[in-house]
Amino acid sequence: MSNLDARLAAIAAMTPPCQTAADIGCDHGYLLAELLESGRCRYGIAADINEKPLEKARQELFRRGLSDRSECRLTDGLRGIAPVSVDAVVIAGMGGELIADILSRFDYKENPAITYLLQPMTRPVTLRRFLYEHGFTLYEERCCKAAGRLYTVLRTAYTGLPTAMTPRALYYGAVDLQNDPLGAEFRETVLKRAEKRLGGLVTARPCGARDEAIAEATRLVLALRAEK
């Protein structure tokens, strides 16, 4: 997969065969080009809020002879994407809060025919919470490493079914801690962050809400430690 870092390669591998894929925040267009060339999708929509990255994607798709099977749209998030025009949506390389915001503003997010491939750079817990609260089921989550940092890619779709927001579901998501090649490292990374927050609370200046926050952080650390 030329030009794809580990994040984009994981997304490409997790994208199911589909008629049309939309890459929201397409940047350089490498991922969409890979999906088209590999046959994962028959048609592709590169979308971005800025003209410069959209032009880069347009040039990349043209260079690889994919212009007749794709289009480039200058748009804010998923605005302008019709509910029947895509069956796979990629939103990658953004913070979890921004991804959740983009989804929240999509009028047709509750369409079970759409598979979402999401890759949060930060705040994955915020994104998972949003998905669970809005009836999405997290089917798969894989770890990947790019530029020395550990990330995950989520494959999800709207089902309307509830998901219990346990510490496992929120912090480890659908990562297979036992079988994912980076599962153990991912678990330790998540756990260390939770322990660091607990340590900060313990050494912080006493205040009215401190004891309650320490108790909550302690429960979280113990719950995460129990997951294997």
Check whether 175 has a pLDDT greater than 80.
yes
Do the Cβ atoms of 142 and 14 come closer than 8 Å? yes
pLDDT digits (tens, 9 = 90+) for 100-138: 999 999 988 999 999 999 999 999 999 999 999 999 999
- Per the DSSP assignment, residues forming a β-bridge with 116 are 89, 156
87: confidence class by pLDDT, cuts 50, 70, 90: very high
Name the maximum alpha-carbon separation found in the chain.
Answer: 64
Mean pLDDT rounded to a whole number for the chain: 94
Span 87-112, mean pLDDT? Answer: 95
Q: What is the CA radius of gyration of the chain?
A: 19
pLDDT digits (tens, 9 = 90+) for 6-53: 999 999 999 999 999 999 999 899 999 999 999 999 999 999 999 999
Query: Which pLDDT value is given to residue 2?
Result: 63
CA separation for the pair 203, 205 (Å, rounded): 7
CA separation for the pair 98, 187 (Å, rounded): 24
Check whether 3 has a pLDDT greater than 90.
no
Query: Which pLDDT value is given to residue 1?
Result: 46
Span 83-105, mean pLDDT? Answer: 93
Query: Which pLDDT value is given to residue 125?
Result: 98
Span 195-215, mean pLDDT? Answer: 85
CA separation for the pair 39, 194 (Å, rounded): 41
Buried-state track 26-48, b at ≥16 Cβ within 10 A, e below 16 = bbebbbbbbbbeeebbebbbbbb
Span 174-182, mean pLDDT? Answer: 97
